[in-house]
Amino acid sequence: MTDNTRSHGASDRPEFLPAGHEAPQEPSHDSWGTRWAPQPGFPQSYFSETAFPEAAFTEEAPEPRGPNIALFTALAVVIALVAGGVASWGTFLLTRPASGVDPGYTLTAPSSLPTARPPGSVAGVAAKVLPSVVSLEVKGNSEAGTGSGFVIKGGYVVTNNHVVAVSGQVGNIRVRYNDGTSAAARVVGRDPNSDIAVVKPEGAVRAPELPLGNSDGAVVGDPVIAVGSPLGLTGTVTTGIISSLNRPVEAGGSTGSDYALINAIQTDAAINPGNSGGPLVNTAGEVIGVNSAIATVGGGSLLGQQSGSIGLGFAIPVNQVRRIAQELITTGAARTSRIGITIDQNYQGEGVRIATETEGGAVPVTPGGPAAKAGLRAGDVILEVDGRPVGDSRELVVTIRSKAPGDQVRLRFRHDGEVRTATVTVGAAPAPSAAPS
């Protein structure tokens, strides 16, 4: 389609001109040519050839122009660059080895950078902690496994009960240090109820002891580092935060029982099978927990099950570990904290109800026990411990077990429809045999 749009008075000629020509100039009175019409006010004879000879109206030839210096200069530069590139490429093609290798080719050497890191960084804490963390290789009659542990005062090694329980009475344990050396070890004592055990390597222990921190000072969001031997990969370091506190978790013992229920520190630091018994440390390099369990999508929670981390790991608070380890070293056994009640497992209401009748030979409230002395009776419903609500029996059990015998707790409970409070001094169950397995 032709575009017929144009401005008023525009010429039919295009407005662009051939390259190298200037636009025509409007003639003046002094340069009218022979082809122009007579101008008004002048007689025709005035424009006769006699008055104005044709030669007088001959157009002057255009003034010659000089060469375009800038264009030539630019062309010269381009030609020089192209010629140089072609020459270089030709030189390379003529001189390169036929095999395609270049014997004279070298890369720059790496720069000399310091390997030291700030003490509070992950690398700084790992450098401090790793020498104190060990791997345990355990063999029994028909089972074998690996786990982790760490050295404490006196050259003792703290680990999980479920790590060393595999050895039984006739098995053997070998401790492998971070420097690659190893030594045989024996069980000093183990406690299934807390999932803590202590072993003692033979000979001198060259690994430094790892300082124990204060787990009561831990808060959600604190950065933490887990160290151990997941899947037998010794000296593995992972990092994360404390994602929750006071989680009732089954870390060992028999599934479905209240054995090895811990008031756990929850962390998203990657923990996998083999991390059991390894330390969870803070940014000061102090132990705040012993890694013991992970949650799994399949429903299992023990680290011994072959499942990977999903960001839900659990550690036994070090304040409980400190007491248990000390008792195992000094007596070979550990006491389990109790308040002397039997829980009604069929109760579905608010809080935790004390049984209303004897079950399996266990009376609802132990006569003369801590709960009885504080005034609790069969059928009472415990609502809070130290101001924290208890939603089920697991929460009550782990809360009491996290206390040391002799500690006091304040209970809020309902008795015959009336809400009361009482202070209970935590007791202990009879200690089991001190003979280590």
Residues belonging to the active site: 162, 195, 276
CA distance 294 to 317: 15
> In degrees rounded to 5, what are phi and psi of residue 427?
-105, -160
CA distance 17 to 35: 22
Contact present, 315 and 407 (Cβ < 8 Å):
no
**Amino acid at site 167:** S
Q: What is the dihedral of CA 344, 347, 351, 352, to 10 degrees?
A: 0
Contact present, 375 and 392 (Cβ < 8 Å):
no
Stated length of the chain: 437
Tokens 């109790």 belong to residue? 338
- The three-point CA angle 169-431-251 to 5° equals 65
CA distance 339 to 369: 7
CA distance 219 to 165: 32
Q: In the numeric block, which tokens belong to residue 196?
A: 């803590």
